Amino acid sequence: MGDLFATTYGRGVAQGLGRDLAARHGPPVVVTQPEPWASLEADFGVQPAALVMVEGLEREYLDGLVRDLPAGPVLGIGGGSAMDAAKWLHWRRGVPLWQVPSLPSVNACFTHMVAVRDATGVHYSGDAIPEMVFVDFDLMREAPAHLLRGGIGDVFTCHTARWDWEYAVARGHDPAWEEHAAAESLRIVSELHALAPAIRERSDEGIEGLMELHRLIGKMCDDYGHARFEEGSEHFFAYAFEFVNGHTIMHGELGSLGVLIMSALQGNRPEYAREIVERAGVRHRPEELGITWHEIEAALRELPAFVKREGLWYSIANDLLVDEAALARAREAIDF
């Protein structure tokens, strides 16, 4: 079992970071995205050894960065892509890494592996351990409120994922049941429920609490070598949605929509799921997400065939009968 990554929380903790790092290690290579860099640039305090606006996580692109960038420690600033690209540079070059996540929506800053894309799909590889993860509350509050609140997505998904895992194991499917991971998954959702109003408020306490849950989930992903306790039919719904409709929305909001719908189809405390979304103020109505009920319905109709074709983990999605009654339950689950 690994350790939780070292993390510093506070207002303005990412300000002046360039100056501090440069004094001890030389100017860093900064791997970032336009919005968070615009927030930190003025007080960064040093000229970066190189400034990279991350363009993706394709293997070829990442290896190009490793080949072409000047030497120096690496500082990642931004969302999941910036975190992962910075991890790749750090791991391949054996240089120190610091991370500044700009949204509390992903656990990429808290996991060892990188989600690298190539012609055959997404592969997880690498082994990154940052010197420090800096969670700057001021920086996170600069993001639009709905993106910050949508950050509950990959924590909230534990609700339906743990249920699917138990369902699969009872029918003889991998990965094997781990009582501790399953119990933690339940506890994480109840902590999220308690924390939800503070997340809605975007308070320091709400942001720190949510990041602590992402940090724990990141460690559990590494410890168990899979994310079954956090990824189930709600994610598969999201993937089917993207496949069928050819576009997507914020991952955390789409995942939350998946939890609302799949918990209703599982018969797994849908009212509890709904309460968490209400308390955290997460957007979930199709019109506010810029999608239509028709698109959701199309994704649900495709879901059972999709999970089998893609060879996804066994879940309620394998056995769903998507008839008018099921569609009515799904529609009711997001109508509040």
Q: Provide the binding-site residues for Zn ion, judged by CB under 5 A.
A: 154
Q: How far is the CB of 225 from Zn ion (least distance, A)?
A: 17
Which residue, 137 or 156, is less far from Zn ion as judged by CB? 156
Which residue, 37 or 239, is less far from Zn ion as judged by CB? 239
Nearest to 154 by CA among 76, 232, 240, 244: 232
Q: How far is the CB of 242 from Zn ion (least distance, A)?
A: 12
Q: How far is the CB of 115 from Zn ion (least distance, A)?
A: 10
Phi, then psi, of 335 in degrees rounded to 5:
-95, 80
Using Cβ positions, the residue closest to Zn ion within the complex turns out to be: 154
Q: How far is the CB of 38 from Zn ion (least distance, A)?
A: 27
Q: How far is the CB of 67 from Zn ion (least distance, A)?
A: 30
The string of DSSP codes covering 33-100 is: -HHHHHHHSTT--S--SEEEE----BHHHHHHHHHHSPSS-EEEEESHHHHHHHHHHHHHHT--EEEE
Nearest to 261 by CA among 240, 288, 290: 240
The string of DSSP codes covering 146-190 is: HHHHGGGHHHHTHHHHHHHHHHHHHTT-SSPP-HHHHHHHHHHHH
Which residue, 178 or 253, is less far from Zn ion as judged by CB? 253
Q: Alpha carbon of 320 to those of 163, 166, 180, 231, 269: distances in Å? A: 15, 16, 28, 18, 18
Which residue, 107 or 266, is less far from Zn ion as judged by CB? 107
Q: How far is the CB of 154 from Zn ion (least distance, A)?
A: 4
Which residue, 13 or 249, is less far from Zn ion as judged by CB? 249
Which residue, 154 or 302, is less far from Zn ion as judged by CB? 154
Contacts (Cβ under 8 Å, ≥6 apart) of 147: 103, 105, 250, 252
